[in-house]
Structure 1
Amino acid sequence: MVFYFKARPDVGDYSIFMGLDKYENEELIKYGFPEDIWFHVDKMSSAHVYVRLQKGQTIDDISEGLLEDCAQLVKANSIQGNKVNNIDVVYTPWSNLKKTASMDVGQVGFYNPKMVRTVRVEKRINDIVNRLNRTKVERKPDLKAEREAVNAAERAERKQHLREKKRREELERLEKERQAELRSYKGLMVSEKMTSNKQIAATSKSLQELEDDFM
């Protein structure tokens, strides 16, 4: 089971989501999207919360309002973190999540700790948490199938770009050949190299003159 929430409307159309338990978290870690940003309460047990950014966006594009929604949601879904003030929430791109065979189910590390950011949450803001909970939807998505569908679409897009690139290159090659052919033709047609029929007639001997020479 995955729980989906809608971020505040003024920040844009963003989905925030989290797994029901550590087994769902494991699936979310495995089949995440490049646009996903992962959130967790630092040094405490909590839900794994994600926000899916728009295609082409990065962690630097997260607005203050969107960041606050994610941080409040992850705090509210931490048994220990929900009880205390002034906690830290860490967040990082999904691609920075590191999973090794020795880790427990739902446990995760980082490839690059420098890519992990921290936001301080002073206290729970019920207005934000309640607003998010009113948008809550439960789904049982096939995360693997969703990821594979995206991969297939991206492959098709890359192939289309490649076909278009090859077509442009072929058109450019043909145009270069045409231009080279035109330059060659123009070179043959330079006036200094051309001889008119009149010039040929003036410089050519008549049939009678050729016969006289022969004789």
Structure 2
Amino acid sequence: MVFYFTSDVVAPPVTLFMGNDKHENEDLIKWGWPEDVWFHVDKVSSAHVYLRLAPAQTIDDIPNSVLDDACQLVKANSIMGNKMNDIDIVYTMWSNLKKTAGMEVGQVAFHKDKDVRKVRIIKRINEIVNRLNKTKREAFPDLRLERETRDRLEREDKKKLVREKRDKEKEEEKQRKEEAELRSYATLMKKENMTTNQDGNDSDDFM
């Protein structure tokens, strides 16, 4: 089971989501998208909350209001973190999550610590948490199918771009050849390059 929340602090609204338990967290880790940003309370057990960025967006493009929503949601879904003030929330791109065979279910590390961001949360803001909880919905998505569908569509888009680029290059090459032929024809038709009977090139003049 995956819980989905709608953050309407931006337009269009964005979706935050998290697993029901460590087993769902494991599936979210395995079948995450390159566009996913992962959030967790630093050094304390908590839910794994995700934000899915739009294509071409980066982690630097997350609005502060959305960042606040994600961090408050993580804090509220941490047994210890929810009771604490002045805690840090860490977040990074899904692709930076590292999973090894010896790790427990739902446990992760990072490929590059320098790519992990950190934000300090002073206290729980009930207004934000209550607003998000009102949008909460449960679903049982096929995470593998969603990821495979996403990858297939990406491959198709790349193939389309390659075809369009190839077709454009062919059309440009065709235009270049046509322009070269026109320039060549125009040169031949210049007066100085044309001959007349007066030039001694009369084909009926026999010796």
Same fold (TM over 0.5): yes
Listed one character per residue, the Cα deviations across residues 138-157 of structure 1 (whole Å, up to 9, x for unaligned) are 00000111111111111111
Q: Tell me the percent identity.
A: 57
Q: Which amino acid aligns with 2:106?
A: G
Residue 10 (structure 2) pairs with residue 5 (structure 1): no
Verify the 8 A CA contact 1:11 1:66 in the aligned structure 2: no
Task: Pick the structure with greater CA Rg.
Answer: 1
Give the alignment's Cα RMSD to 1 decimal. Answer: 1.9
SS of 1:17's equivalent? strand
Residue 188 of structure 1 corresponds to 188
Q: In structure 2, do the counterparts of structure 1 residues 201 and 187 end up closer, same or farther at CA, with 3 Å as the change threshold?
A: closer
Where structure 1 has 5 or more consecutive residues not aligned to the other structure, the ranges are 211-215
Q: Which amino acid aligns with 2:57?
A: Q
Q: Give the drift of 1:185.
A: 2.4
Verify the 8 A CA contact 1:11 1:65 in the aligned structure 2: no
Listed one character per residue, the Cα deviations across residues 6-36 of structure 1 (whole Å, up to 9, x for unaligned) are 1134464100000011111111111112221
SS of 2:159's equivalent? helix
SS of 2:83's equivalent? coil
| Number of corresponding residues | 207
Q: Distance in 1 between matches of 2:171 and 2:44?
A: 60
Residue 63 of structure 1 corresponds to 63
Residue 31 (structure 2) pairs with residue 39 (structure 1): no
Structure with the largest fraction of helix: 1
Residue 117 (structure 2) pairs with residue 117 (structure 1): yes
Listed one character per residue, the Cα deviations across residues 161-209 of structure 1 (whole Å, up to 9, x for unaligned) are 1111011111111112112222332333332232113544779746xxx
Residue 155 of structure 2 corresponds to 155
Where structure 2 has 5 or more consecutive residues not aligned to the other structure, the ranges are none
Residue 92 (structure 2) pairs with residue 92 (structure 1): yes
Q: Distance in 1 between matches of 2:42 and 2:18?
A: 16
SS of 1:118's equivalent? strand
